[in-house]
Structure formats: structure tokens, C-alpha cells
Chains A and B, each alone.
Chain A
Amino acid sequence: MSVQRWTRVSLLFSGATAGIVVILALVPFWFGPNTTEKLTELFVLIILAAMWNALAGYAGLVSIGQQAFIGIGAYAVIVFTDHGINGYVAVVLAALFSGLISLPISLLVFRLRGGQFAIGTWVVAEIFRLLVTNDQSIGGGTGRSLDALNIYAPADRQAYTYWVALALMTALMLASFVLLRSRLGGALQAIRDDERAAESVGVPVARAKRIVFLLAAVGCGAAGAITMANTLTVTPDSIFGIQWTAYMIFMVLLGGLGTFEGPVLGALVLFGVQQEFQGSGSWYLVGLGAVAIAVTLVFPRGLWGALVDRFNIRLMPVGHTLRTLVSRRSES
């Protein structure tokens, strides 16, 4: 029997991922702004899914208030550019700023557990929405548009936004991969399974949770900032809206909670669903909610979990695989 992290498939796939990122980086040379705009939306969804998965699937923190950080990220871009900072530098700074804001918030909401934590984060998001709505200097309830990126020609701007989004997505996915593979990843799963037991064997519970909350805030802030750069306009009701959480929960649950690959799969599915049904008003949100309920109740391991069960594959080796002689023979 042996413990292993990398399998032949996961080595191959990790290499292939690097190849995919290179190919994605070349997309603006081949396709027009419409394609890159759509793909940027997809990157935002992938970031959001990965961040919510790190929170709920690894740290057991069911936040339904991550739209707080999405909104903070978007509005921070406006505030930074108002102070003369370059638009794309502002996007990166906004993500970091969002992380900074998450630290004092964590002091408050970490006093709550489980379902109370969930609504507590939602209250925080509502507070930020109301504060922004009441602040006329950043557009109040009607929102603002981002003018700082108008210094670039539209086609160039879309390509730059795309590259920034791709870079941020790659960096965030890499960061969460490294984080979840580290000792902290194991600590987090122990917390998710039984917080008290984890604490009793010396897992630094509070620190581990705070690190994930910080990462998720940076990620969601980046998603909001990229959305701002991609759409160039924002209203508090949409950017601080609860529908973001509905998307995140749908993607992560359908893909597979607590797996690294599943949420990416979920993001691809949601992206497809949005392209197909976004015109049909709220009915598609009804569908998303219904699927989330159904997956929770009857299919809790999600699509990726089902694939892992069926074929025993792991593309991105976050966990440890215990291999016996029997399974080794059957795989080779």
C-alpha cells in the first residue's frame, strides 16, 4: 500500500492545463471582442465557483454574502480610478483592497456558526449595498460607469481586460490549489468535518478559516473588479445582488462540493445555461434553484463526484490517494 498525490493522469492533466492557459492567452489574436467578452464572463464564473468552493467545500463556511466583496471590488475600481490610478492597476488593487476589508468583517461574522454565519454574511453584504446606494459621490442608487478605460481603443480594451481576467483567474486558481494542497488544506477539511475534534488535535481553526475567508474575498473582489472592467457600468442592486450567491451555489453543488475540478465544470455548465436561457427572465433562476435543491438532496457529490466514483480519476491532485495493490492492478 502506498500514499500518493500525483497520478499519471493528474500529471498529464496539470501539464495540459498549462497548455490550455497558453492557448487561452492567444485567443484575442484570433477572435473578436464579442468572444473575449463572453470568455471574460466565464473566467469570472470560474473564479467565483472556486472561491465559494474553498469556503464551503473546504472550510465549511457557507457564506451567502460573498456579493459584498464582488461589489466592493467593482466600486473600488471606480474609487481608485477617480484618484488617477490606471484602470487595470486599479482592478488588481481592488481585489487586494477587498481582501483587506474582509479581515475586520471576519472578526464579526466568525462569531456566528453554520446557518447564522450564512445570514450574518448576507447582512454584511446588504449593509455595503445600502452604504453605496446612499453615497451620491459614487453614483448612489443609479450606479456609475467606468470612464478610465476609455483611453484605450475599444478593441484593445477588450483584449487587455481579457488578459487581466485570464491572469487573475490563473493566479487565483493556482493560489487555491497550493493552499488546499498544503497542510492548511488538510486542516480545513478536518474543520469542515468536525470543528471541535479538529481543534482538540491542535488544528489552528480560527487562523485556517480566516486565511480561506481572505482568499475568497480577494477572489470575489477580483471577480467584481473584472466585471466592472468588462461591462464598464455598475449599479449597487446588481453588483451586490444575491443572484451571485445563487450562481456560486449552483456551480459548486452541481460540479461537486469539495472537489477542485467540480466547480470549474459547474462554471462551464452555468455559462452554457446563461448563454441559452438568459433572455427568458427569471424562469432560468427558478431552474437553477431547483437544480441546487435536487443536487443537495439526491446527488450530493455532484457531477464531478459521480465521475470520480465511476472512473476513479483525479485531474488536479489536491488530496491524497491511498493505493492498494488491487486498485493499482485494476488501473494499469
Chain B
Amino acid sequence: MTWIDAVIQGILLGGLYALFACGLSLMFGVMRIINLAHGDLALLATFMVLVISQHLGLSPFAALVIVLPGAAVVGYALQYAMFNPSLRGGELSPLLATFGLSVVIGNMLLEVFSPDTHSLSAGALTTASWHITSQISISALSAVIFGAAVLVLGGLQLLLSYTQLGRAMRATADDARTAELVGINAKRVYAIATAIALATAALAGTFFGMRSSFDPTLGPSQLIFAFEAVVIGGLGSLWGTLVGGILLGVAQTVGAQAFGAEWAIVSGNVLFLLVLAFRSQGIFAAREAHQ
């Protein structure tokens, strides 16, 4: 029974990883940028939610009404101010620039908020749970996070498949110059993609802050989990990313159950390495390639 519980908790945790990962995946898919500051930007949003909810006495969910649009605006601006110029400098520049951004944000958070741990209260959701058996229970918060992740990833998939904007994104991803010939403003498409990516990252960061306590040093590890979810699932497939996140979450919780809590993250890393070694295109990529 404890094993089944571990798997269920892993699946729910995986939803959060997928939510972290979808913005990373979107940016990589559309403009081939791996945003190394993704985790730190998500954590920055977590701290913004913390500050707003503390100072205005709002619940973190209400603070999201301010932070999510804020994150999108920051993403839009970052694209024009930093990522577009870095794209002109060749393949290395976006990596170096986003790594620099990660260092700047991470250390600024450390200076402003000190290395202390903080947490966001999700109100009644934190304590509510469904007891399925005496040993298996699902917390309401985990379920809400998982549901939100499925909605966001599904919504993004629909956006890419069926809307004008989604077609513009896919066209730009395939060939930005040709897309511009037919009247698509590639820079604007990039900026919208980054705005969406940062909004999803902010949402993931907020859920992360509700699920567990956090401190300013955790940005890079969120980036790593997101990246592992993307690679395990296979690049370029949002459903693959969801499955990748779930597999990563299950690997961590089952690993913790089998070897002890300190081996949770290592177990996830080992799954990542195994996928890299034996199926480096990811679990879902082959199917995508035929489309």
C-alpha cells in the first residue's frame, strides 16, 4: 500500500514538474533558446506572491491575479531587451546571457530575502485531503496543482494546434525568415511565447511555494527538474512533457520510498540518465517525428 501511495504522490508531484517544464519547452520549441534563468524567474514570482500576499493581506491565489500578468509583461520585455539581442550573437549568446540572468536573480533574492525558508499558505486547501484507504490519501492542494497543470498544458497544446497565434508560433519555430515573408512578426511571436512561458513559470513557482517551504537558492533545482521532465518526455511534445514530469515525480517518490528520502532526487536524476543513455530522443519524440 505504501508503494501505491508513493506512485500516486509521484504522479501528483509530476504535474507540478510538468507545469515548470512547459514554459521551458515552449521557449525551446519556438526559438531554440534554453532559458537557464527559468527556475530563478519562477522563484522570483514565488517571492513576489509572498510579498504581495503579506503586505496586502491577500491569499496567494488572489496575489496571482497581479503576479501572473506581471510575469507575462516581464517576459515580453525580457524578450525585447535581452533574448532577441542575444539571438543575434550566435548559439552561445542566449545561454550565456540567461545564465547571467540566473546568477543575478538568484543572488538578488538571497540578499533581499536572506537564506531563510518561507512558505505560502493555501488556506483550507493545505489541510484538506481525501482518504481513499487508511494509508492512501490525496491532499486537495496536490490535486488542484495537478489539475491546473493538465489544464495549462492542454490549453497550450490547443493554442498551438488551433489558433492563429499557435500557427504563427509553429511557423516561426520551423523557419523564422520564411514566416516573416508571409507577414508574421517573428520578434513579436517570440515575445508572446516568452510572456506565456514566464506566466506558466510564475504559476508553477506559486504552487511550489504552497506545496513546500522555499528559499532563494532553489531556483536552479527547479530548472533542473523542469529540464529533466522535458528530456524524459521528449522535446517538442507538451503531452510528452506531462508524462515526463509524471515519470520524474514517480521516480523521486518511489526512490525515496525504496532507499530513503535523501535518495529521492538522485533517483529522478538516474531516470534522466537512463533515458539519455537508452532513448535520448525521449519517450514521446518518435511519435511526434511522424506527424
By a beta-carbon cutoff of 8 Å, the part of chain A in contact with chain B is 56, 60, 62, 64, 107-109, 111-112, 114-116, 118-120, 122-123, 126-127, 130-131, 133-134, 242, 245-246, 249, 253, 257, 281-283, 285-286, 288-293, 296-297, 300
* B223 and A119 contacting across the interface, CB-CB below 8 Å: yes
* B104 and A297 contacting across the interface, CB-CB below 8 Å: no
* B34 and A297 contacting across the interface, CB-CB below 8 Å: no
Residue in B closest to A288 when the chains form the complex, CB atoms: B103
Chain B residues with CB below 8 A from A282, complex form: 107-108, 110-111
Among the stretches B151-159, B189-197, B203-211, B266-274, the one at the interface with A is B266-274
Complex partner residue of A127 from B91, B107, B266, CB under 8 angstroms: B266
Q: In the complex, A126 Cα to B276 Cα: how many Å?
A: 16
The 7 closest A-B pairs by CB, nearest first: A115-B34, A289-B103, A292-B100, A289-B104, A293-B100, A282-B107, A285-B107
Residue in A closest to B260 when the chains form the complex, CB atoms: A134
Chain B residues with CB below 8 A from A126, complex form: 221, 224, 265, 269
Q: Is B86 an interface residue when CB atoms closer than 8 A count as contact?
A: yes
CB B100 to nearest CB in A, in angstroms, measures 4
Q: In the complex, A293 Cα to B37 Cα: how many Å?
A: 12
* B34 and A114 contacting across the interface, CB-CB below 8 Å: yes
CB B256 to nearest CB in A, in angstroms, measures 12
Chain B residues with CB below 8 A from A283, complex form: 107, 111
Chain B, interface residues (CB within 8 Å), range: 35 or more
Question: B interface, by DSSP: helix, strand, loop or mixed?
Answer: helix
CB 8 Å contact bits of B201-242 with A (1 = contact, 0 = none) = 000000000000000000011011001100100000000000
CB A57 to nearest CB in B, in angstroms, measures 9
Given contacts A114-B34, A134-B262, A297-B86, contact A292 B223 (CB under 8 A): no
Q: In the complex, A289 Cα to B37 Cα: how many Å?
A: 11
* A108 and B276 contacting across the interface, CB-CB below 8 Å: yes
Chain A residues with CB below 8 A from B32, complex form: 114-115
CB 8 Å contact bits of B248-278 with A (1 = contact, 0 = none) = 0000000000000011011001101100110
Chain B residues with CB below 8 A from A64, complex form: 36, 99
Chain B residues with CB below 8 A from A120, complex form: 231, 276
* B99 and A297 contacting across the interface, CB-CB below 8 Å: no
Instruction: Give the interface centre of A131, A134, A257, A296 by most chain B CB atoms within 10 Å.
Output: A296
Chain B residues with CB below 8 A from A292, complex form: 96-97, 99-100, 103
Q: Is B102 an interface residue when CB atoms closer than 8 A count as contact?
A: yes
Instruction: Give the interface centre of B108, B263, B272, B276 by most chain A CB atoms within 10 Å.
Output: B276
Q: In the complex, A245 Cα to B106 Cα: how many Å?
A: 14
CB 8 Å contact bits of B100-121 with A (1 = contact, 0 = none) = 1111100110110000000000
Given contacts A111-B276, A112-B276, A115-B28, contact A60 B104 (CB under 8 A): no
Q: In the complex, A300 Cα to B100 Cα: how many Å?
A: 14
* B97 and A114 contacting across the interface, CB-CB below 8 Å: no
6 A/B residue pairs, CB under 8 Å, sorted by A:
A123-B272, A123-B273, A242-B220, A292-B97, A296-B97, A300-B89
By a beta-carbon cutoff of 8 Å, the part of chain B in contact with chain A is 28, 32-34, 36, 82, 85-86, 89, 91-97, 99-104, 107-108, 110-111, 220-221, 223-224, 227-228, 231, 262-263, 265-266, 269-270, 272-273, 276-277, 280
Question: A interface, by DSSP: helix, strand, loop or mixed?
Answer: helix
Chain B residues with CB below 8 A from A114, complex form: 32, 34, 91, 95
Q: In the complex, A165 Cα to B7 Cα: how many Å?
A: 50
CB B124 to nearest CB in A, in angstroms, measures 35
CB B221 to nearest CB in A, in angstroms, measures 8
* B228 and A123 contacting across the interface, CB-CB below 8 Å: yes
Residue in B closest to A194 when the chains form the complex, CB atoms: B91
* A115 and B33 contacting across the interface, CB-CB below 8 Å: yes
Residue in A closest to B83 when the chains form the complex, CB atoms: A297
Chain B residues with CB below 8 A from A285, complex form: 103, 107
* B36 and A119 contacting across the interface, CB-CB below 8 Å: yes
* B101 and A115 contacting across the interface, CB-CB below 8 Å: no
Residue in B closest to A257 when the chains form the complex, CB atoms: B92
* B224 and A297 contacting across the interface, CB-CB below 8 Å: no
* A296 and B269 contacting across the interface, CB-CB below 8 Å: no
* B94 and A249 contacting across the interface, CB-CB below 8 Å: no
Residue in B closest to A280 when the chains form the complex, CB atoms: B111
* B266 and A296 contacting across the interface, CB-CB below 8 Å: no
Given contacts A120-B276, A130-B266, A282-B111, contact A115 B95 (CB under 8 A): yes
Chain A residues with CB below 8 A from B92, complex form: 56, 60, 62, 257
* B269 and A127 contacting across the interface, CB-CB below 8 Å: yes
Instruction: Give the interface centre of A116, A130, A283, A297 by most chain B CB atoms within 10 Å.
Output: A297
Complex partner residue of B36 from A60, A108, A118, A281, CB under 8 angstroms: A118
Chain A residues with CB below 8 A from B108, complex form: 282, 286
